Amino acid sequence: MDEHELRSRMAIEAAGMAVWDATVVNGDVMAGVVHWPAPGAAMVGLAAREADQPFAQFLALVHEDDRDALLRAMRDAVDAAGHYHVGYRVRLAGGQVRSLRADATVLRDAQGRPHRTLGLIRDITDLVEQERLASERECMAGVTLDCIGDGVIATDQHGAARYLNRAAEQLTGWTRQRAVGRDVGEVLPLIDEVGGLPLEHAVYKCLLKREAVGLSAHAMMVTRDGRRVAVEDTAAPIRLANGDMLGAVVVFRDVTHQRALSSQLSWHATHDVLTGLCNRREFEAHVAHALHASKQDDHTHALLYIDLDRFKLVNDTAGHAAGDALLQILANLLQGKMRESDVLARLGGDELGALLGYCQLDQARLIAEEIRQLIKGFRFVWDEHSFEIGASIGMVEISADSKSVSDLLVAADEACYLAKDQGRNRIHVYSESDAVLARRHSEMMWVPRLNDAIQHDRFALYAMPIAGLQGNRLVHEEILLRLKDAAGDVIRPDRFIPAAERYHMMPLLDRWVIRAVCRHIAARERGPAREPGAAGPPAGGARPMFSVNLSGPSMNDDKLHQFIIDQFVDHSVDPAQLCFEITETAAIRNLPKAQDLMARLKLLGCRFSLDDFGSGLSSFGYLRSLPVDFLKIDGSFIRGIAANPVHRAMVEAIHKVGRVIGIQTIAEFVEDAATLDVVNNIGIDYAQGYAVGRERALHA
């Protein structure tokens, strides 16, 4: 072997190959012999030394599935006196399978007849396994991407689509075959949902910046059939291990439902659900803007405070459903009287506000008069009842001299109060002296009357049933306070409670109620008589429970605890018959005092109910720190729940949290059968409202 041949063999062996040398006899491969160098013999499972092997014996080592293909390739090459390149497997003695590849040329003798094939053979087992694993990984990745709900589009470095998963096909309307090679801007066109203008594609930004980028929060995709779908997406670069960027991948999802729900929640945050008008918070923002404009450009605006006369008569006579319908109708009627620059809002139960932008006081008077006459002339019919509604309107000018939003609202409220006090169904324009007159009138009117009622027991107790659902059999009633005037007429608390709160008389009223309830329980225990409409005790003779409202100032009264104990002792009352009801807002404002009072009274056996739950912004955060037994879900969520999926979801969430913590739930303002069905289906434990029982006078 000369030096040149030696060097060639060393190079072949260093490359992991061996010489493939097979003779051809009379053009027949099968009749020939394979000459193996030592490395080649080892590749097919023979001893690692030079050897000659009949081709038929070699073919027997070839995997049965590859024999025909190998033989056919070699014969075709011999017939054509050309080349062949073929891969095949051999099965070794121990059962192991190796993959080989042969690349050879057919050589001719002096007469031009094929007499041998000569080439190279190499073991490609590892390469085949790597390709198999890569193919398996690619298949697994494709299956995984097809299983996820988000759309995925991979592009090359120029933004042309290379791959779409199944979700991307469904969302865009493009099949994978049609989309590949097309610009991603054609497959996934994006526009702004507000103006409909095209948006710069996230993929282009990603390829330009060579980093991950997100999409506009107002992006919409236009599908192949022209539909517009709200989407969120993110594009990220596809890189090799060395950092070279091959393209980008964009992941996107259909957020039409989420965006619609977000828009609905945003609307709910600024509007009154019942009437569709602006709510108080949004109205105050508009007033603040008008005040700022007045101070900047010296323009004049007008603020109206509208209180509906005799509205409570509708509620008391025909129920809250009738009152709600009346508010909806009036809201639509009044909205028609508003100019484009005006804002109409619902400020409270039967209180409306109107902001008349860029409006002089004389013109505002004319608009207010049109509103008053419209309401006065409207006749509301409900079932067999017919009602005439009036409006007392307070008006205040917004000018550069106005002080603050709160001052303006207070002034309009006080002007409205004077309009009512002067005979109702009229307009009163605020002047500086009105505030003094209103406060003095209030002091003269209510403070002596409340003191006299406390001293001479001129208050009366009413009871509103709280009906058990889900098999709850506890007899439970809420105590309501009323005032009887000299003529014997019953005055509802919304008339005198604001004055009692303003002049710090609520602790006195709360003590009167606690003493009167204990007195009633004692009388009830002594005699068999029961008031008409009162629920009897459940099986087993369990005593009824009465809910008594406690104000925020009472929770700060350090002597209230002892007063309550004294009433239990004086009247021989079981503390378990009292449930003290506190509002969420009052509890949070007086949290340390509330926690202390509640803990001490619960040791006696009293129970607690958290009223108006859900109206505060921190409801769930404070819930664990208050040892309450019942949650009264805020009535604004219950009214209309049968037709409002957002409110239903909120009520379900509150109930679930209560269930986890071990607190029973009460739905208030359950006014009709449809609402009762919904709260019952949700699993609420108790219901309160006209659908389960009306209030009744409670006699000692």
Residues 114 and 176 in one domain: no
Residues 682 and 558 in one domain: yes
The residues, any chain, with a CB within 8 Å of residue 81's CB and separated by 6 or more, are 106, 108, 114
| Strand-pair category, 151-156 with 161-164 | antiparallel
Per-residue pLDDT reduced to its tens digit, 538-569: 444 568 999 999 988 898 888 999 999 999 99
Query: Which tokens in the block code for residue 472?
Result: 């709850």
Residues 532 and 613 in one domain: yes
pLDDT of residue 40: 83
Answer yes or no: is 534 within a domain: yes
Number of domains in the chain: 4
d(CA 579, CA 608): 5
Answer yes or no: is 488 within a domain: no
Answer yes or no: is 443 within a domain: no
DSSP label of 643: G
Give residue 162's domain range: 137-254
List own/partner pairs for 647-656 with CB under 8 A and 24 or more apart.
647/273, 648/678, 648/682, 650/614, 651/679, 651/682, 651/684, 652/682, 654/613, 654/614, 654/619, 655/682, 655/683, 655/684
Query: Which CATH number belongs to the domain containing residue 518 in this structure?
Result: 3.20.20.450
Per-residue pLDDT reduced to its tens digit, 350-407: 889 999 988 888 898 999 999 999 998 888 888 888 888 889 999 999 988 888 888 8
Residues 404 and 467 in one domain: no
Residues 185 and 298 in one domain: no
Task: Please identify, among 231, 254, 277, the residue that sits at the C-terminal boundary of a domain.
Answer: 254
Residues 119 and 141 in one domain: no
Angle of CA points 190, 192, 193, to nearest 5°: 115
DSSP label of 62: B
d(CA 226, CA 228): 7
**What residues form DSSP beta bridges with 99?**
89
Residues 142 and 60 in one domain: no
Answer yes or no: is 130 within a domain: no
The Cα-based distances of 357 to 87, 248, 655 in angstroms read 87, 52, 43
pLDDT of residue 12: 62
Residues 475 and 608 in one domain: yes
| Strand-pair category, 427-429 with 390-398 | parallel
The residues, any chain, with a CB within 8 Å of residue 578's CB and separated by 6 or more, are 517, 518, 545, 546, 548, 564, 606, 607
Answer yes or no: is 441 within a domain: no
What values do phi and psi take at 669, rounded to 5?
60, 40
pLDDT of residue 127: 83
A 10 A CB-CB count for 316 gives: 14
Query: Which tokens in the block code for residue 205?
Result: 């930004």
Q: Write out residues in the chain with pLDDT < 50, as ranges.
A: 529, 532-533, 535-540, 617-618
| Residues 635 and 619 sit within 8 Å (Cβ to Cβ) | no
Model's pTM, two decimal places? 0.44
Residues 664 and 611 in one domain: yes
Residues 294 and 223 in one domain: no
d(CA 61, CA 53): 11
Query: Which CATH number belongs to the domain containing residue 85 in this structure?
Result: 3.30.450.20
Answer yes or no: is 449 within a domain: no
pLDDT of residue 5: 55
What values do phi and psi take at 434, rounded to 5?
-65, -35
Task: Please identify, among 123, 145, 172, the residue that sits at the C-terminal boundary of a domain.
Answer: 123
Answer yes or no: is 438 within a domain: no
Residue type, 295: K
pLDDT of residue 617: 41
| Residues 528 and 459 sit within 8 Å (Cβ to Cβ) | no
Task: Please identify, among 97, 123, 149, the residue that sits at the C-terminal boundary of a domain.
Answer: 123
d(CA 333, CA 321): 19
The residues, any chain, with a CB within 8 Å of residue 674's CB and separated by 6 or more, are 642
d(CA 246, CA 258): 34
pLDDT of residue 618: 46
Query: Which CATH number belongs to the domain containing residue 346 in this structure?
Result: 3.30.70.270
Residues 235 and 277 in one domain: no
Residues 352 and 395 in one domain: yes
Q: Evaluate the CA torsion angle 586, 589, 591, 597 in order and state its sign.
A: negative
Answer yes or no: is 452 within a domain: no
pLDDT of residue 216: 67
DSSP label of 535: P
**What residues form DSSP beta bridges with 632?**
666
3-state secondary structure 5-56: HHHHHHHHHHCCEEEEEEECECCECCCCEEEECHHHHHHCCCCCCCEEEEHH
